[in-house]
Amino acid sequence: MTPQGINQLPIQQWSNKHENFTHNLVANTSFKLWNPPAQKKRERYLATTKNFQWLINHAITNNIKLRAIGSGWSFTKVGVTEGGLIDTASLNFSFRIPKKYTSSQYAKQPEDLYFLQCGTIIHEINTRLAAKIPQRSIKASGASNGQTIAGALSTGTHGAAIHVGAIQEFVVGLHIITGADKHIWLERASYPVASQEFVDWMDADLVQDDALFDAALVSFGSFGFIHGIMIETEPQFLLTEHREGPIAYNQKLKDAMKTLDFSDLNLPGTGQSGDMYHFEVLFNIHNFEPNNADKGAFVKYMFKKPFQLPHTPLQRNNEFTYGDDLLGIISTVLDKLPLAQLSIPTLVNLMFKLAFKPEDPRVGTIREMFNYTKFRGKVASAAMAIAIQDSPRALELIVEVNKHKSFPGGLSLRYVKGTQATLGFTKFPNTCVLEMDGIDGQKARDFFEAVWNKFEQENISYTLHWGKINFNLNEARIKQMYGDASVAAWINARNQLLSIPALNVFSNKFIEDCGLDKVHGAIV
């Protein structure tokens, strides 16, 4: 009999949000967690911690593999396992951190901290922070925000803030259930955050270790169950979004893509709406020609300035908008166009014509700019991270590949600060993320593989988004992407935090294929 707060799920198959795959599960091994009722938040939280531990004990006793599942946003099987799934979506309370729960050595102020249960959806975090007095905000956001905080963190989800990194860069503490009788509060020794009183509130063991923390940040559910996450927020701010295009792909644009120095582009709004916050370049690779403005790039950029009242909330419509990322736009296309009657270039040309119509600048908060995209149909997305200085060459190679392997989609380049996470895919100090978004199917997969192969032939270093299509990942490529030292540090951290029985519970075929499942740091 399961404890209160755990319900068994009668499922033997599970499909991800984007409908890219259906995964077989072992019968009677999947469960849903919810916070048992109690008068005090701490009592509910501790009861759920014990339920996580019950699940680990149950899995060890019955030789079951488990993996927490949030919104099912990933395109790959990084987040599933050959056993059962644990639905954590109901674990979604959050609260501000009072001074007594903040380390006396914390570098900032208690109001900068916010504590979240693992199942809280990013869009809901934005809503809750906007309701605070004064209003607060997360520092950066992806384009569509239906992911849970733990799921987005664990796969390295990124935004496109040129001075802020991926989600893990504003995570400063983790409460991880690492065994049937063990759970820890993990933070960096170099950046203490929580007081002993807060660690006692969770009844956890305090672990302060930079290497362990950096490894655990992006660990795709294989370091145990992440129950709680501490993030740093900032005062609410406004973004003014502009879009231009098409504009010529010329030396000025290439230089901006390589350096993030936008001064030669003469972008409208510069100097009027704050500092540059977001820079994105989008290409229709089926209608591209260097130095031809009619066959050039579309540019989306945002300036950041302090929030001021009164503020009229930005209203988004249901048509094509620049607020959607390319994937959201393609998803909408699937609702509107008779795909069977269109060739790939015709489809993509029509998509860009519909999507990128002239529009006045818009002003809104992160919550208003980056909404909860509702995906429709089978969409495909692969994302590669490269150093920004390689971005023009990378674009040109992708255009060349497309001539031979026509891609039913488009390309966007988004820029983000590099990560401290040991296996964070945005690893370059200044990272350009190449997002290849389109309609799923064999043509898309053939195109992705051809691009990956071309980059390797041309010696362009890249990594792949853990949560997007990445079927070429294997042990050799992981070591090539991250280096032997980083891979060893990640494996050793996992071994240090988990017992051998727990390592087995939180293993899956994905990390086995990547060579990340080694025990006791024995790296071949």
Mean pLDDT computed over every residue of the chain: 90
> Residue 145 falls within a domain, yes or no?
yes
What is the model's pLDDT at position 524? 32
Phi, psi of 127 (to 5 degrees): -65, -45
pLDDT at 141: 81
pLDDT category at 329 given cuts 50, 70, 90 is low
> What's phi and psi for 155, nearest 5 deg?
-110, 5
Residue 521 lies in a domain: no
Residue spans of beta strands (DSSP E) within 388-480? 409-417, 430-439, 463-464
Identify whether residues 221 and 326 lie together within a single domain: no
Question: Which pLDDT band holds residue 3 (cuts at 50, 70, 90)?
Answer: very high
Residues 273 and 368 in one domain: yes
Domain check: are 89 and 187 in the same one?
yes
If one compares 342 and 351, the residue with the highest pLDDT of the two is 351
Q: What is the pLDDT of residues 351-404, one digit of tens each?
A: 676 666 667 899 999 988 887 555 555 778 899 999 999 999 999 999 999 999
Q: Do 158 and 242 sit in the same domain of this protein?
A: no
pLDDT (0 to 100) of residue 72: 75
Q: What is the CATH number of the domain that holds 450?
A: 3.30.70.2520
C-alpha distance across the termini of the chain, in Å: 42
With 70 as the cut, is the pLDDT of residue 158 above it? yes
Alpha-carbon distance values, 180 to 55, 201, 379, 455 (Å): 8, 19, 39, 44
User: Which pLDDT does position 339 carry in this prediction?
Assistant: 54
Which pLDDT band, with edges at 50, 70 and 90, does 521 fall under? Answer: very low
CA 66 from centroid of its chain's CA atoms: 21
Is 316 a residue whose pLDDT tops 90? no
Q: Which of 281-290, 433-442, 496-505 shows the lowest mean pLDDT across its residues?
A: 433-442
Total domains in the chain come to 2
Same domain, 286 and 216: no
Note the pLDDT of residue 425: 96
pLDDT of residue 349: 74
Residue 1 lies in a domain: no
The DSSP-derived string for 300-357 is: EEEEEEE--SS-PPPPP-SS--TTS-HHHHHHHHHHHS-GGGS-HHHHHHHHHHHH--
Q: Which residue has the higher pLDDT, 84 or 332?
A: 84
Are residue 417 and residue 273 in the same domain, yes or no? Answer: yes
Confidence check: pLDDT of 315 > 50: yes
Flag the least confident range among 9-13, 21-25, 258-262: 21-25
Structure tokens belonging to residue 519: 């025990």
The model's confidence at residue 418, banded by pLDDT at 50, 70 and 90, is very high
Whether the CB-CB separation of 188 and 209 falls below 8 Å is answered with yes
Task: Find the length of the chain.
Answer: 524
Indicate the residue among 174, 208, 235 that finishes a domain.
Answer: 235
CA–CA gap between residue 211 and residue 121 (Å, rounded): 27
Same domain, 315 and 391: yes
Domain annotation covers residue 363: yes
Please state, in angstroms and rounded to a whole number, the distance separating the CA atoms of residues 334 and 342: 12
Both 248 and 229 in one domain: the answer is: no
Give the domain-ending residue among 425, 450, 472: 472
The phi, psi pair for 452, rounded to 5°, reads: -60, -45
Quick one: average pLDDT of 341-346?
A: 66
Within a domain: 482: no
> Exposed/middle/buried for 106, CB within 10 Å: 0-12, 13-18, 19+?
buried
**pTM, whole model, 2 decimals?**
0.93
Residues 316 and 422 in one domain: yes
Phi, psi (5° rounding) for residue 167?
A: -55, -40
Q: Which domain holds residue 314?
A: 237-472
Q: Do 144 and 272 lie in a common domain?
A: no
220 and 330 fall within a common domain: no
Average pLDDT (197-216) is 98
Q: List beta partners, residue 282.
A: 298, 412
User: Are 255 and 174 contained in the same domain?
Assistant: no
Residue 309: the pLDDT is 87
Residues 102 and 126 sit within 8 Å (Cβ to Cβ): no
- Residue whose entry in the numeric block shows the structure tokens 């690492």: 178
